Structure 1
Amino acid sequence: MSSTYEPGDPAVSRGSLDRAFRPRSVAILGASDDPSRISGRALHYLLRAGFTGEIFPVNHKRDIVQGTPAYRSLADVPGVPDIVLIALPAARLADAVRECVAKGVAAAVVYAAGFAETGDSGARRQTELAAIAREGGLRLFGPNCLGLMNSALGFVGTFSSAFDAGTPKGGGVAIASQSGAYGGHLAYLCRERGLDVGYWVSTGNESDVDVATCIDWLARQDDVTVIMAYLEGVGDGDRLRAALATARAHRTPVVITKVGKSAAGAAAAASHTASLAGADDVYDAVFAESGAYRARTTQEQIDIAYACAHGSFPKGRRLGIVTVSGGFGVELCDAAEQYGLEVAGLPEAARARLRELNPMGSDDNPCDTTANWLNDPALITRTFEIMYGGGDYDCVIGSFTILPDSPTFGAGIREAIRAGTERYLDRPTALCMQARPEVVRAYEDAGFLVFGDSDRAVRALAALARIVEGFDEHSDEAPDPGLPTAGPLSGLSEAGAQEVLAAAGVPFLPSRLVTSRADAHEAAGELGMPLAAKVVSVDLAHKTDVGGVELGVTDAAAAFELITTRVAAARPDARIDGVLLSPMAPAGVEIIVGTNTDPVFGPVIVIGFGGVTAELHRDVVLRVGAVTVEAAREMVLGLRSAPLLTGHRGGPVADLEALARVVSAVSRFAVANRDRVVSVELNPVLVGPDGAVALDALILTPSKEGHPWTSD
């Protein structure tokens, strides 16, 4: 249910964030009579926008501020303001926040900088502010933020220059940005693009309210159609995931720009999994699982939000193309292939109708109408009807170059396309065209998405399709990871790691740890030939690098001697527990399955095509947290090389269910032991037609010295 309400309705209970985003009264501490000053701009904006609620400027020196009666202190303000905008220097903020708490205010905005962004002393001052607010039940925006806005109410609680030219009229676009400058830039670009911003918020240092909190609230509102978000970092990964899950549940698109890429950390030196699960890849996985769209550029973010705000989404990826020039059709086809849209051909019946309609044009998808329609605009109408009705496309792009701007043809083209698409308003129709702003707006008002570039048009439609897939395909269901492992996990050799993971549900080949030539000879008699032999040492993460592996062994005693001698020479510092013998594995595909603990989001499950070249290929899929067997199967099928597991070119079909069970088991183990395990790696897991078996195991745990992993 939405938490929207009618202003003044006492029957509706309002939480702190409701009162912050939809205030009925606003107080401004330090309000200036000069509208050009930071401390005067919010009051100026509120008065100019015609804020529907009460305004209480607080200035201890003036009785009138910008023509509005002022108060000497917050305590003097009648009633309890819903939100307080604090335009005071940093030194006075602690007392100001205490005043807000004493007054019973729901939320406060701290504009001032000079806190955590400046170093340790600033961080301590920020912690103090947050503690005062938290203990008093006050929601705090900032410090070092530009405030927030609800344009429908005329509430402009910010000093951002983005609103100098006027307050937006109110609309379905919401912007939540850690950076006030970036958020203001987005608001400015939205105005240029004809997008009406209804809500706008800058969270700054996020001592309390963060972007995730805002996304969660905004996604629940009936008057929000798309959320644009900007992130530099995330303090609470679970909160962000929950907020994006809320957006998905309400089918509210979230278009995110996340900047900053981080290395996987020192654990990458010990684990393929860690190097394959870089921090930026984890963000991609989080956004993908929720259906959020990650924009790589500001222009792309605006384009996708623009397309989402239109309100119609494709039900699939089938794209129809109508052009007035064959060259543009080729360009659109190339873009469709790049972004994953299908330019499917028309059925013969529809092709026959096109040939009859326009013998001079083409009769397939893309459909080039040529210039013949200039004599009869109805050709355009009928072409769109045939493309949609006969081809059943999920979306259609029409490329009309500069013709819509023509005083002679522009209005006629618009009306012809409108008539041809009026029965298909449940799906988006995009037009590639160049025209004056007023002409573009007329086409948009007629129901079309308008782009000046073919690539941007196709990318936007592909993004809409991906967002819908994210809404429909992913589930919040996560398996119970169970109880943590009872025994110790640090200092495990491969043999010890296998024992622990086998108890968690991971299948391994039978094996024996041998410590002498005699042991090796005896074990060979039990296991049979040929054998695989691997050195066992907690100091060696990658055994092949030091000659610690022999395959196809037919003399176990000799293999034991060879391996221990080679390893001792290559790594005299390594502690050798012995050699692990196991039967040679049957034929199959090598898959790497592992986990890495992200500092923000916790355990991340990673799968990819394995072996020693795993890092070179980087064909991987990530998910955060424990996954079900069904979700694990989706991960496997999401690999680019998945056809190698499903019978590519007549090859054997691998047991995907067995592999999915391994992936799910490893993910549940990592989550159950998230405070004790940094990384788990099975490299490889061999997947054949009749099952999956892990051939190697590694468990890395935090060390007492603070290193990312330890083996002792």
Structure 2
Amino acid sequence: MAENKTLCAGLGTDIQSGTFLMEHEGADLLRKYELPIARSTIAKSKEQACQIATEIGYPIVLKGMSREIIHKSDAGVVKVNLKNEDELTSAYDEIVKNALKNNPGADIAGVLVQEFVPKGMELIFGIKKDPTFGHQLVIGLGGIFVEIIKDFSMRMMPVSVDDVEEMLKELKSYQMIEGYRGKKGINKQLIYTICLSLNDLIEEHPEIEELDLNPVIFTDNDAYICDVRILITKHKEKELVRKDLSHLKQMINPQSIAVIGASTNEKKNGGRLFKYVVENGYKGKLFPINPGAKEVKGYKAYPSLLEVPDEVELACIIVAAKHVPDVMEECVAKGVKAAIIYSSGFAETGEEGKKLQEQILAIAKKGNILVLGPNSIGIASPNNNIYTAFGAALETKVKVPGNIGFVSQSGAMGSALLSRAWEQGAGFSRWISVANEADLTTSDFMEVLIEDELTKVITVFMEGIKNPKAFSLASARALKAKKPVLVYKTGRSSIGKRAVQSHTGSIAGDDAVYSSVFKKFGVLRINRIDEIIDVSRAFTVQPLPKGKRIGVITASGGACSIIADLCSEKGLEIPELVDTSEEIKKYIPPFGSAQNPVDVTAEVIAVPEMFKKVVENVMKDPNIDGIIVMLTTNADPGAFIIAQSLIEIFKENDKPLVIGRLGADNIAPQAMELYNKEKLPVYPTPERVVSVMDYLVKYSEILKEKGIT
């Protein structure tokens, strides 16, 4: 009871943490925040119920109140549309009988007498307290179909009026709220007022775990909350302690490295790690630590870290887990600033491994050492030729430097994406495998990448967020710096960790919470695995569009239709070309289309100079914010000339030019080589080219919403 002192004391009830309030208790609480609760009073007897009903006015609703009965309708303790005293007294007796039948041990607090609300549109307003991110507001289509239709939107609280308006527009039922076929919609001011009052409620009562207001019935100018369900509990709030990241530069750009566990056998992880450091041109001091070897790849080996005569900034620890604590003690004694632990066998393996992980973290804190891992694959910094990683992706001979800062919580997936990205010509500023995040987290590396001049976009392969406050601060800083944060989040189909008894808890799963959080923080959620590389590359080279008006240029009527359909699905606009259309007609045959989408036909593709004129005119149109060019099967040498033209137009303008090419690369090797040389991505399908443009537009809209120019 002490855990919920404020709420329970205010209600004057003996309520334990982790239980639902009875409806009349919840209603009394909500009235204090001027929420539109349907008129109701609890009765302790039939006689009192009749008196209350007379005061409220028939028809009325009766609801049995018991803390042991959560789902009242299922238990038969709800009776509606009672028109007179005879119906009321009969229903009262039946409610008491059904309550005891449902739960013979139920303590019946009374029967709630509530006004019978007129018909109207039914919505649900819900709150879910996520253990990681806190309270989330849910708005959706209410009534009996909540969990069947699942038409809802979610945002992290507190919400603004703009947030609520966005939420409503995301609903499939938005047109019903707005009004349709001559029918008047809901007075949205009533919705805004409810949501802002719920902000106040949660600010003063953070112990609310779940809340359902369902249904909330809206008539012409009124709203009625007809059912209230509130679960209270108490989570111990974690306070954010800002980590000192000053030593992280020694991990990212070390001047001296000791590899503890370096091996002369390059089939072993320790051998591969040392090989990659050496063969990729590391320029700093390098010390292999191996008590059984005199040298490794031409470098003098030392039996222990303590015998290295020089300063060591970064320790790369790749020994069996049981030996890591002793190595960490040597790191403390040596004055090492940062350590990467590649070894597995820690928290990912169970309770014993977790204890071992806590032990090494305690040693690291004693020596003020920053730790990456355990179970990490390491870090790659292609621009600086520093590869303190042992992933198989490093076997490639082509390692492309660039401007993508990539942070992965999955070593295997991160390594696979790195190899695939390099194959496609995508370049990285940093690639980081954070693994167990015993010390340094994804958010810490986001902070570093925001400051990194080589990084233009921050991409994260995410399984979860360990420190939500740090993530929110890093996301805010990235927005201010106009560095897009792209997140691919796994676990979409995961279910909650506990059974939920509210409608809100049922529909608002863990994945929906992450989407809500990303929207709140201005993070772009990547929906498909193949989009990770596509979109990351685009943000390193493309300017942001000022709006969502897209010009589409193809050499195929079929491609025009496909691109138009895909743009429509994404909410991208394809405006008419007015004066520009007349100009385009000069360069295309009469059987082409000079209107947007523009079909230049195969004849113009055969005359690349004419194609360039068309693209230039669409680019100059003031009603166009970005251009999609979807090529089909053009071959060299014409394809090469078109590539030259598109690159020239791209460099001379400040609008995004996103290029797709459906034909095989091997019929236009010169063109593809030129695109790669100029770092201008070419996407192989209409779906991927439209998706890239959509992400550029979304980020531009995020900056506008946040007031960042």
TM-score, normalized by the shorter chain, greater than 0.5: yes
The answer to whether structure 1 residue 350 and structure 2 residue 595 are counterparts is: no
CA distance in 2, matches of 1:416, 1:153: 33
Residue 501 (structure 2) aligned to one of 243, 249, 269:
269
Against the structure 1 CA distance between its residues 220 and 343, is the aligned structure 2 distance closer, same or farther, given a 3 Å change threshold? same
Match of 1:466 in 2: 698
Letter in 2 for 1:189: R
The answer to whether structure 1 residue 81 and structure 2 residue 312 are counterparts is: yes
SS state at 1:357 partner = coil
Match of 1:630 in 2: none
SS state at 1:224 partner = coil
Match of 2:653 in 1: 424
Q: Deviations over 1:18-58 (max 9, x none)?
A: 11001111001121112221011121111111102110111
CA distance in 2, matches of 1:376, 1:199: 42
Residue 315 (structure 1) aligned to one of 546, 555, 566:
546
Q: What 5-or-longer segments of structure 2 have no aligned partner? A: 1-243
CA distance in 2, matches of 1:308, 1:23: 28
Match of 1:443 in 2: 675
Match of 1:455 in 2: 687
SS state at 1:200 partner = strand
CA distance in 2, matches of 1:445, 1:188: 18
CA distance in 2, matches of 1:75, 1:167: 36
CA distance in 2, matches of 1:205, 1:326: 51
Letter in 2 for 1:428: L
Match of 1:134 in 2: 365
Match of 1:16 in 2: 247
Q: Where do residues 157-168 of structure 1 align in structure 2 (5 Å cutoff)? A: 157-166=388-397, 168=399
Runs of 4+ in 1 over 6 A off after TM superposition: none
Give the deviation of 1:326 after TM superposition: 0.8
Q: How many residues align?
A: 460
Equivalent residues of 1:380, 1:420 under 8 A apart = no
Letter in 1 for 2:687: D
Q: Deviations over 1:548-578 (max 9, x none)?
A: xxxxxxxxxxxxxxxxxxxxxxxxxxxxxxx
SS state at 2:629 partner = strand
Equivalent residues of 1:25, 1:82 under 8 A apart = yes
Q: What 5-or-longer segments of structure 1 have no aligned partner? A: 1-12, 477-712
The answer to whether structure 1 residue 280 and structure 2 residue 511 are counterparts is: yes
Equivalent residues of 2:400, 2:427 under 8 A apart = yes
Against the structure 1 CA distance between its residues 141 and 332, is the aligned structure 2 distance closer, same or farther, given a 3 Å change threshold? same
Match of 2:284 in 1: 53
Give the deviation of 1:313 after TM superposition: 2.2
Match of 1:413 in 2: 642
Match of 2:565 in 1: 334
Equivalent residues of 1:27, 1:56 under 8 A apart = yes
Letter in 1 for 2:431: W
Match of 2:529 in 1: 298
Question: CA RMSD for the aligned pairs?
Answer: 2.2
SS state at 2:530 partner = helix
SS state at 2:248 partner = helix
The answer to whether structure 1 residue 250 and structure 2 residue 476 are counterparts is: no
Match of 2:59 in 1: none
Q: Deviations over 1:175-210 (max 9, x none)?
A: 211111111011111111101222111111111011
Equivalent residues of 2:658, 2:693 under 8 A apart = no
CA distance in 2, matches of 1:76, 1:421: 56
Letter in 1 for 2:472: R
CA distance in 1, matches of 2:411, 2:282: 22
Give the deviation of 1:264 after TM superposition: 4.5
Letter in 1 for 2:694: A
Give the deviation of 1:282 after TM superposition: 1.6
SS state at 1:171 partner = strand
Against the structure 1 CA distance between its residues 426 and 386, is the aligned structure 2 distance closer, same or farther, given a 3 Å change threshold? closer
Give the deviation of 1:289 after TM superposition: 2.6
Against the structure 1 CA distance between its residues 242 and 117, is the aligned structure 2 distance closer, same or farther, given a 3 Å change threshold? same
Which stretch of structure 1 is more off in the superposition, 138-147 or 429-438? Answer: 429-438
The answer to whether structure 1 residue 398 and structure 2 residue 629 are counterparts is: yes
Equivalent residues of 1:381, 1:419 under 8 A apart = no
CA distance in 2, matches of 1:230, 1:14: 22
Equivalent residues of 1:174, 1:227 under 8 A apart = yes
Letter in 1 for 2:273: A
Q: Deviations over 1:45-77 (max 9, x none)?
A: 111111021101111222211211111211111
Residue 373 (structure 1) aligned to one of 601, 604, 611:
604
Q: Deviations over 1:134-168 (max 9, x none)?
A: 22211111111111122222221111111012362
Give the deviation of 1:102 after TM superposition: 1.5
Q: Deviations over 1:383-417 (max 9, x none)?
A: 112211135422111122110xx234222222343
Against the structure 1 CA distance between its residues 154 and 358, is the aligned structure 2 distance closer, same or farther, given a 3 Å change threshold? closer
Give the deviation of 1:419 after TM superposition: 4.8
Give the deviation of 1:220 after TM superposition: 1.5
Q: Where do residues 171-210 of structure 1 align in structure 2 (5 Å cutoff)? A: 171-210=402-441
CA distance in 1, matches of 2:486, 2:323: 37
Equivalent residues of 1:320, 1:343 under 8 A apart = yes
Letter in 2 for 1:243: A
